[in-house]
Amino acid sequence: MNYEIYNNKIKLIKADITTLKVDAIVNAANSGLLGGGGVDGAIHKAGGHKIHEECMKFRNKKGRCHTGEAAITTGGKLKAKYVIHTVGPMWNGGYNNEEELLGKCYENSINLAVENEVRTIAFPNISTGVYGFPKKLAAEIALKKILEVMKTNKNIDQIIFVCFDDENYNIYHEMMRGIQ
């Protein structure tokens, strides 16, 4: 299952993000950065202890990674060169600035990617699992941000939206069809 728009610059796939050979994959982390469940657990498991050690170093130097912010480590044993860890907002009915914070996750991840000369980057559906963000709203925010990035041409060749479940895949597919 895949779909693309903008001359393959924005791509949608259904996959396990840990299997991808791209410059960077994004992790939906928590502010402790030391792993957890969902995609975070899968990335730490597949990438091995090197990612954990680098996250510890970040913690020791800069403290916790706040909601909306991002931190970068190498990919450890993954095929991806880097992992960009970003902390999505926990959904609280929309009363805690969640929409803006989710947008910041995408924006700050891209900025960190560009600083590290990343040209291909894959995003999971941040906050739409354990953190309970409504999937359709999350997809709207993600796509809006990524379209902005591609329009201002920040030296990124390809952005891949990686969905793990059919529901998210179908939401993105529908929205991307509307853009073309």
Give the residue numbers marked as catalytic.
40
Positive or negative, the CA dihedral 151, 154, 158, 161 is: negative
Q: Looking at 53, 100, 157, 165, which residue binds ligand AR6 (CB under 6 A)?
A: 165
Query: Edge-to-edge, what's the strand order for the sheet holding 120-123?
Result: 2-5, 10-14, 158-163, 120-123, 24-29, 82-87, 70-74
Measured from the CB atom, the residue of 40 and 54 that comes closer to ligand AR6 is 40
Measured from the CB atom, the residue of 68 and 88 that comes closer to ligand AR6 is 88
Q: Looking at 110, 113, 159, 162, which residue binds ligand AR6 (CB under 6 A)?
A: 162
User: What is d(CA 35, CA 6) in angstroms, rounded to the nearest whole number?
Assistant: 34
User: What is d(CA 176, CA 160) in angstroms, rounded to the nearest whole number?
Assistant: 12
Residue 52 CB, nearest distance to ligand AR6 (Å)? 13
Binding track, positions 78-117, relative to ligand AR6; x by CB under 6 A? ----------x-----------------------------
Q: How far is CA 40 from CA 28, 125, 149, 154, in A?
A: 6, 12, 25, 27
Residue where the block lists tokens 């929205």? 175
Residue 27 CB, nearest distance to ligand AR6 (Å)? 8
Length of the chain: 180
Measured from the CB atom, the residue of 30 and 152 that comes closer to ligand AR6 is 30
Q: Looking at 82, 123, 131, 161, which residue binds ligand AR6 (CB under 6 A)?
A: 131
**Spatial contact of 139 and 125, defined as CB atoms under 8 Å apart:** yes
Measured from the CB atom, the residue of 5 and 160 that comes closer to ligand AR6 is 160
As given in the structure block, the two tokens for residue 2 are 């895949």
Report the site for ligand AR6 in 26-45 (rule: CB under 6 A): 28-30, 36-40, 42
Q: How many residues bind ligand AR6 (CB under 6 A)?
A: 25
Residues within the interface to ligand AR6 (CB under 6 A): 16-18, 28-30, 36-40, 42, 88, 124-131, 162, 164-165, 168
